[in-house]
Amino acid sequence: MTQSNRIDGGLIDRDRALSFRFNGKTMTGHPGDTLASALLANGQRLVGRSFKYHRPRGIFSCGSEEPNALVQLRTGAAQEPNTRATVVELYDQLSATSQNHRGPLAFDFMGVNDLLSPFLSAGFYYKTFMWPKAFWEKIYEPVIRNSAGLGKLSMKGDVDRYDHGFLHCDVLVIGAGPAGLSAALAAGRSGARVILADEDFRMGGRLLAETLEVDGMPGVDWAAEALAELSSMDNVRLMTRTTVYGAFDHGVYGALERMTDHLPTSGNKPRQVLWRVYSKRAVLCAGATERSIAFGNNDRPGVMLAGAVRAYANRYGVAPGKRVTVMTNNDDGWRTATDLLAKGVKVAALIDTRTGITRTLDGVRVETGSGLIDTKGHNGISWATLQSGIKIETDCLAVAGGWSPNVHLTCHQRGRPTWSEDIAAFVPGSDLPPGMRVAGSANGTMTMGACLTEGRDVANETIRDLGFTASRKAAAKAEDEASDITAFWHMGGSKARAWVDLQNDVTTKDIKQSHTEGFRSVEHLKRYTTLGMATDQGKTANVLGLAILAEASGKTIPETGTTIFRPPYTPVPLGAFAGRSRGQDFKPFRLTPSHDWAKSNGATFIETGMWLRAQWFARPGEKGWRDSVDREVTMTRNSVGICDVTTLGKIDIQGRDAAAFLNKIYCNGFAKLALGKVRYGLMLREDGLAYDDGTTARMSENHFVMTTTTANAVTVFRNMEFARQCLWPDMDVHLISTTDGWAQFAVAGPNARKLLQNVVDEGHDISNEAFPFMACGEITICGGIPARLFRISFSGELAYEIAVPARYGNALMGVLMEAGKEFDATPYGTEALGVMRIEKGHAAGNELNGQTTAAMLGMGRMVSKAKDSIGSKLSERPGLNEEGDLRLVGLRPVDRSVLLNAGAHFITKGDTPSMETDQGWMTSVAYSPSLGHSVGLGFVKSGTDRMGEVIRAYDPLRGKDTDVEIVSAHFIDPEGERLRA
């Protein structure tokens, strides 16, 4: 196909040809083209099918407001539906296909919908698919879903990369048209840090599309000079291909930068970057969007916005038609005619809906006080019919219905635009987002000279706010072109449908019908007709729709009001919101110090929060996890096992009041903890429920080391910091986390001491006499390496936890194994850890689930009455201290061969299972290799008074019903002889 509609001029590089494909057809364009301009240059008017009626549609606009020319870009996994051809920068080998048709584009089988249009008007679905009820899910919904939507997803994972970023500036200028460039120049010259962002790939806005002069030179040249000056300033950052899509709190703006969309490949770099822009002030120079006029069959390919037709001719060197007709209600439409004539494009007629216009154009039929009522043409306009019945032969209809300021971002914090009769459009209201000012046509200032001046003035006002001195340099000069308008919304006089919203196939009839049926609020109108929805968010349709609703209701437009604009201004891919947070990079991983050792010694890892912990260490011949876990438990209980417990939170506590502070944090007493001793502590929440447990060691008079559970490490630290700073600021106490700083290992089992004696340096006596249960101390190991030793036990065995600076952690794991060789020491993972704590009856996360009290856990007497601590008073609430409360007990199956399930509920024998007869629930279960059967922990009503009773562990979810005996939670060594050995 040749570029049959290419004309002279334009900002394209004719020396280079770019080859691209549309629906498999190869075409050529040039750098500087958009896909839309290249399609038009190649004479391709028909580019897609409409949403509902499958009407043939062409290119309507030249920017991000495009409702019609949506295409699928790229192929395979990179395929992207609903891409606006008007903003797709042409690149070599680009491949696009049209959307929403079955069969070829030029003959869409779904076009039958157009014949059915009398039945498909507003509210069709609501009225039609009411009955029979059973049809909805099986028949109607699948059919509607199948025919709905525009493009198709590839159904493959997104192959592209996306990133996020943070930018900071004094002044964010949004839009680089005449007002934006003028504002950026003024702000930049003052020395303020400026970001100028524009969605286009070339900055200049309408300066690139118009023939108006600025400072005595073509607007394009002035824009280039302005950009050269701006690029030379270190304090100015120019961001092309960047859409500021939302105005958020505190001067934060969201912006999407398309980094590689204009390149054939992204080269493994992010395709798009989603920026969070922190601005002190913002100047919105987003320009204005032209709108159409409604008349019969005003949706055919070839019917376009007049400003877009002019832009294609001036900026892209493309004549959208060979015989163009202009229909306008304002002076701006005339410039389309004059610019086309200057380019040698034939203008068939100019129709101005206004009366009293005396202006003429050489060789052009001019009709005033009149309008078009219908068009004809298969897959594109070929005739237009005037009110008078006269037919005009034409292949492109340029419609100028007036310009609507792009007020969207002014409304993102609930601002409401106000109606300006002068320009027949909404302009920004007074309630702008804090820090935002508006300049240029976004502000309703519709002429070039005024835009340039306003951009500078508003920027100067803005930077003075920030304490900068404004440059005295005057704004660039341009004449103020004629811009009078007399509002005109739609032509009657024809039965043909007149389109308002091209993307959603909403016609004037739909709006009137919606009003008749009682949907009178503009927000209801939107939901009922879908006016203003979907990818274009009604940028070309909203004001027209409101005007027609106003007309139908006999109200003014300001009385009718407008729907609220919300972010994003234009669509943002979900991938961009996700950024890097995908797959492996969804969240950070925390590794324990002995991770490398575990990895090379057969560990299977499990995620616990962000930590990766060894779950068990499989040995050759072990057939499943149970084999490994049973062995690890048995070897530990019989000799010695080693487990990395670094993940437990560690908090270093220092200060003159550290002991008194801990006494308030823990519900049990800590004030009198002796030097060199560790104590188990329980924390309550403010409401008296159990919160977290752990141990705290007194290293010196004013120095304590606390451990918390892995899960609550961060929140406990945060709550203690709150208590320190806000509850008791008069206490001298200081906290810092040392969780990552110390590698800590549990060494448990009857041979634990002997193993440690192999590594502890001489001079440190760790015998039972010198270092009894609950002792702690600073020692050295392996020839001088500092270590902390705590004699505490989670497993119930003779056990220690030994901590060394994390840098020695991986080595220490190997050394402990080596030193334990003579005892056949085993490493053990979180599963064996869990089995042993259940055998011993120690509470963990399943029992400390935020619903349980100290009394329920069997630790009611630990809550000291002799002092005040967080939660102690509220733990005395009657509701938490009733007769028959739940108590933690052990449970074992009457038939020892049955495996128990956590989550089962307890029912007294003989009762019918129900909420009323519920006696509690099973919290933790494990197969105990030490006992040879399954054991469980659970809360049973008055459980401690029911020892020996057999109850049912009822589990309808898994279809189990097991008789269990209530026993002590301490299955192993209830007297604690082992851990004191």
For another protein, the binding residues (CB under 8 A) are: 161, 163-168, 193, 268-270, 273, 276, 278, 580, 585, 587-592, 596, 610-611, 646, 652, 654-656, 702, 730-732, 734, 736-742, 757-759, 781-786, 804-808, 810-812, 815, 818-819
CA dihedral for 666, 667, 671, 672, sign (positive or negative): negative
The answer to whether residues 315 and 201 touch, using CB atoms and an 8 Å cutoff, is no
CA angle centred on 550, ends 545 and 553, rounded to 5°: 125
Minimum distance from residue 899 beta carbon to another protein (Å): 35
Minimum distance from residue 615 beta carbon to another protein (Å): 18
CA distances, 759 to each of 782, 786, 795, 935 (Å): 5, 12, 22, 36
The answer to whether residues 240 and 184 touch, using CB atoms and an 8 Å cutoff, is no
Cα first-last separation, the chain: 93
Minimum distance from residue 597 beta carbon to another protein (Å): 10
The SS3 of residue 928 is strand
- 597 vs 616, which CB is nearer to another protein? 597
Minimum distance from residue 705 beta carbon to another protein (Å): 10
> Hey, what are 154's tokens?
């590839």
- Determine the Cα–Cα distance for residues 437 and 418; give it in Å rounded to an integer: 15
Minimum distance from residue 574 beta carbon to another protein (Å): 19
745's enclosing H/E stretch is strand 742-748
Minimum distance from residue 473 beta carbon to another protein (Å): 23
- 381 vs 759, which CB is nearer to another protein? 759
- 556 vs 757, which CB is nearer to another protein? 757
Minimum distance from residue 19 beta carbon to another protein (Å): 28
- Determine the Cα–Cα distance for residues 632 and 826; give it in Å rounded to an integer: 6
- 237 vs 960, which CB is nearer to another protein? 237
Judged by phi (left if over 0) then psi (alpha if -120 to 50, else beta), residue 942 lies in left
Minimum distance from residue 537 beta carbon to another protein (Å): 29
Beta strand spans in 234-337 (E): 236-239, 242-247, 252-258, 272-284, 288-290, 303-305, 323-328
Minimum distance from residue 239 beta carbon to another protein (Å): 12
- 124 vs 577, which CB is nearer to another protein? 577
- 361 vs 785, which CB is nearer to another protein? 785
- 384 vs 806, which CB is nearer to another protein? 806
DSSP-assigned letter for residue 894: S
- Determine the Cα–Cα distance for residues 833 and 924; give it in Å rounded to an integer: 13
> Hey, what are 630's tokens?
């049973």
DSSP conformation letters of 130-190: TSSTTHIIIIIHHHHHHH-SSS----S---S-EEEEEEEEEEEEE--SHHHHHHHHHHHHT
- 119 vs 589, which CB is nearer to another protein? 589
The answer to whether residues 71 and 98 touch, using CB atoms and an 8 Å cutoff, is yes
Minimum distance from residue 359 beta carbon to another protein (Å): 53
CA dihedral for 203, 302, 426, 340, sign (positive or negative): positive
Beta strand spans in 406-539 (E): 418-420, 425-427, 436-438, 499-501, 506-507
- 8 vs 730, which CB is nearer to another protein? 730
Minimum distance from residue 955 beta carbon to another protein (Å): 38
> Hey, what are 265's tokens?
């490949």
- 213 vs 596, which CB is nearer to another protein? 596
Minimum distance from residue 778 beta carbon to another protein (Å): 9
- At 953, which amino acid appears? A
- 159 vs 931, which CB is nearer to another protein? 159
